[in-house]
Structure 1
């Protein structure tokens, strides 16, 4: 069914800087991992870029910047029902309370998300080769500037 997703704007202001690695695989675990302890120290910098291994497979990586004018955030969904009592002001600004109609939240329909980290760049990893400019991530990050150019034509 349909759901509404509400952002907790206050979480954006307090989001601590995070180091991100986008791996070319699925990791079927959704809990925090000690990446700084095991993975990050094993990353090697050489003339060919970044190299590491994950579960015995060779990885090649590159640093990717968030497009100018944008910010990256690590978002988490709060548990079902957590904080879903009554009405909330999602504007993040007390002055906007009167302007914005506030609807009651419903446990099975509404989800709240908040930022737990922020980033201006991340490491993109490829299996055995550097992902390069044709990687889907690079194409996706190019969309904002393409859309802006199309709107100003």
Structure 2
């Protein structure tokens, strides 16, 4: 399958208040009044830890900033007459998001946060080697 990512001139820039990576799948599509019902708050004891609840279960989260020179995109699948090609239209972009866990604070052991670290490590590994003259 071929994926084609198409940019639109009317992309919105979203904040981390708008983008949430939840520890579950939500089997629904459409527009919802999320801000009315999902109200994360910052825990006073730990300034970067956020708390919320979703469907009666407690969540703990933190804001994650994407590495420098990277952006996140929200894309919507378009209809394509060709079954081998799928068009994705970028509707929004973001530089940070809120990452959530059930009942425990996010840590460097979470696979998603490890992946964010790996981006910077991979860049360093694949960067050109510069010879430094010896003195």
Task: Give the TM-score normalised by the residue count of structure 2.
Answer: 0.82
Q: Do residues 52 (structure 1) and 52 (structure 2) align?
A: yes
Match of 2:13, SS?
coil
| Alpha-carbon RMSD | 1.6
Q: Which residue of 1 aligns with 2:23?
A: 24
Return 5+ residue gaps in structure 2 as ranges.
130-135
Match of 1:27, SS?
coil
Which of 26, 37, 43 is the matching residue for 2:40?
A: 43
Q: Which residue of 1 aligns with 2:96?
A: 121
Alpha-carbon distance, 1:37 to partner = 2.3
Higher relative contact order (CA 8 A, sep 6+): 1
Equivalent positions of 1:114-153 (< 5 A) are 114-152=89-127, 153=129
Match of 1:53, SS?
strand
Runs of 4+ in 1 over 4 A off after TM superposition: none
CA distance in 1 between counterparts of 2:119 and 2:74 reads: 19
For this pair of structures, how many residues does the alignment match?
A: 122
Q: Which has the higher strand share?
A: 2
Q: Which residue of 1 aligns with 2:83?
A: 108
Task: Give the TM-score normalised by the residue count of structure 1.
Answer: 0.73
Return 5+ residue gaps in structure 1 as ranges.
82-106
